[in-house]
């Protein structure tokens, strides 16, 4: 099975990079470059993903004669001229270094939280005969922006979740499971899912993007997995029971998975409903003791007792969900506790499945009690 659309390391750069070996001042023997986050909406970045790029593309002998010939043909056609591609330079690397790229790359430890405007990694050539290799691989190396961005936003979410949990809950044990990644389907490729999924796992342990664990096992020496999930419903597992069988669909899930927790997808929301970077306002632990305590005689949708925790629907109202979503959420809670299992099941918390796009989906995590 082919590994991807591009297997030739020489073709991992923007075409124009090929012309730069002639553009540097005559006599240049060494080049030194660095990568940083220049700033943005957050005060820091979480550095992650470079190790994957290096191991995937640049470790060991990565240049072959066949690659040089292929690149010569492709790039000669691209430029419609034969004086751009550096055939002699690549053959030198092949013959002198056995196909290994003569560069030295140094980086901060992966997973580090680094204030913006600081160097994250450096690249320098180690052979004066081919100093141009330093910046040739810029195109490839800067792709670290994606896992870094996911890791950074994920950590921002975690900080805000931690803050509100510390204000409203008696335990912080569930923080690491409070933002669930269901973004496998929401990204551009399996590789993106692996990188983004692994980046999310730096901060949280809840994930359905198993590609993240696969990448960490292969490129980061992970033993086991870094993301955990639970049996969950979806539209098909409920709608196949028919309109009148919705309650039975949930009862059936509880019967076939008697132990542990279940997830019920409750309220699909569009990308405009919740900001991707507002993880703060996303998570709410709902310790509704049997929701049938809702006062049937009142129209107040917040009239739910909360004996086990100070956080409940009133806190949820501080979250910028649309009004219809708040109402729909409460109706789902009532349906599950009154119709499906009024004694055995309590909705314990809302988990948001955050894809690497802007799609957020609230879910209910059900725990059997008694």
Q: Where are the alpha helices (DSSP H) in 169-231?
A: 190-200, 210-219
Could you tell me if 43 and 192 lie in one domain? no
Are residue 140 and residue 152 in the same domain, yes or no?
no
DSSP 239-284: HTT-GGGHHHHHHHHHHH--SSEEEEE-----TTTS-TT-GGGT-E
Identify the CA nearest to 121 among candidates 102, 97, 138: 138
- CB–CB of 157/165 below 8 Å? no
Task: Give this prediction's pTM.
Answer: 0.75
Q: What pLDDT shows up at residue 285?
A: 27
Looking at the fold, whether 226 and 302 belong to one and the same domain comes out as yes
Strand partners, 351: 363
Q: Are residues 120 and 158 in the same domain?
A: no
Query: Does the residue 1 lie in any domain?
Result: no
Residue 2 maps to a domain: no
Q: Which two tokens stand for residue 332?
A: 């789902």
Q: Of 144, 169, 197, which marks where a domain is finished?
A: 144
Same domain, 123 and 198: no
Q: What is the pLDDT of residues 61-92, one digit of tens each?
A: 999 999 999 999 999 999 999 999 999 999 99
Task: Please give the pLDDT value at position 258.
Answer: 78
Give CA–CA dist 109/8, Å, rounded: 28
Give the chain's domain count: 2
Q: Which residues of the chain, if any, have pLDDT below 50? A: 1, 267-331, 333-334, 336-362, 364, 367-370
230: CATH: 3.20.20
Query: What local confidence, expressed as pLDDT, does residue 160 receive?
Result: 86
76 belongs to a structural domain: yes
Within a domain: residue 3?
A: no
Domain boundary among 120, 144, 168: 144
Domain boundary among 144, 173, 201: 144
Residues 137 and 261 both lie in one domain: no
| Total residues belonging to the chain | 370
CATH number at residue 66: 3.20.140.10
Q: How far apart are CA 79 and CA 347, in angstroms?
A: 62
- Do 197 and 136 sit in the same domain of this protein? no
- DSSP output for 348-360: EEEEEEE-SSS-E
Quick one: pLDDT at residue 266? Answer: 53
Using DSSP bridges, classify how beta strands 360-368 and 261-265 pair: parallel, antiparallel or unpaired: antiparallel
Q: How many CB atoms lie within 10 A of CB 346?
A: 23
Pair (309, 237) in one structural domain: yes
**250 shares its domain with 309:** yes
Domain that holds residue 242: 148-368
Output the six-digit token pair for 296: 């049937």
In a domain, 211, yes or no: yes
């Amino acid at each position: 099975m082919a590994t991807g659309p591009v297997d030739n390391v020489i073709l991992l750069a923007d075409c124009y990079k090929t012309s730069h070996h002639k553009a540097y001042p005559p006599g240049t023997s060494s080049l030194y470059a660095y990568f940083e986050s220049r700033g943005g909406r957050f005060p820091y970045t979480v550095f992650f993903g470079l190790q994957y790029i290096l191991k995937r593309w640049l470790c060991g002998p990565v240049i072959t004669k066949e690659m040089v010939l292929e690149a010569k043909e492709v790039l000669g056609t691209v430029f419609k001229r034969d004086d751009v591609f550096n055939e002699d330079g690549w053959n030198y690397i092949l013959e002198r270094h056995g196909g290994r790229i003569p560069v030295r790359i140094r980086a901060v430890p992966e997973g580090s939280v680094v204030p913006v405007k600081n160097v994250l990694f450096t690249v320098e050539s180690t052979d004066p005969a081919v100093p141009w290799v330093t910046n040739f691989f810029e195109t490839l190396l800067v792709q670290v922006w994606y896992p870094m961005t996911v890791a950074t936003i994920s950590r921002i979410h975690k900080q805000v979740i931690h803050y509100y949990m510390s204000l409203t809950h008696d335990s912080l044990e569930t923080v690491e499971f409070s933002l669930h990644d269901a973004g496998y389907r929401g990204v551009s490729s399996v590789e993106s899912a692996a990188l983004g999924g692994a980046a999310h796992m730096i901060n949280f342990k809840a994930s359905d993007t198993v590609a993240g664990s696969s990448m960490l096992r292969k490129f980061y020496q992970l033993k086991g997995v870094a993301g955990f999930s639970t049996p969950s419903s979806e539209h098909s597992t409920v709608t196949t029971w028919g309109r009148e069988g919705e309650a039975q669909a949930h009862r059936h899930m509880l019967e076939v998975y008697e132990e542990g927790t279940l997830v019920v997808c409750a309220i699909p929301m569009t990308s405009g409903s919740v900001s991707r970077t507002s993880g703060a306002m996303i998570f709410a632990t709902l310790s509704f003791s049997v929701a049938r305590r809702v006062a049937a005689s009142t129209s107040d949708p917040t009239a739910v007792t909360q004996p086990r925790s100070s956080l409940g629907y009133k806190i949820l109202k501080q979250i910028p969900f649309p009004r219809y979503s708040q109402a729909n959420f409460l109706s789902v809670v009532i349906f599950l506790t009154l119709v499906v299992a009024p004694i055995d099941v309590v909705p314990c918390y809302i988990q948001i499945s955050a894809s690497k796009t802007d799609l957020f989906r609230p879910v209910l995590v059900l725990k059997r009690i008694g």
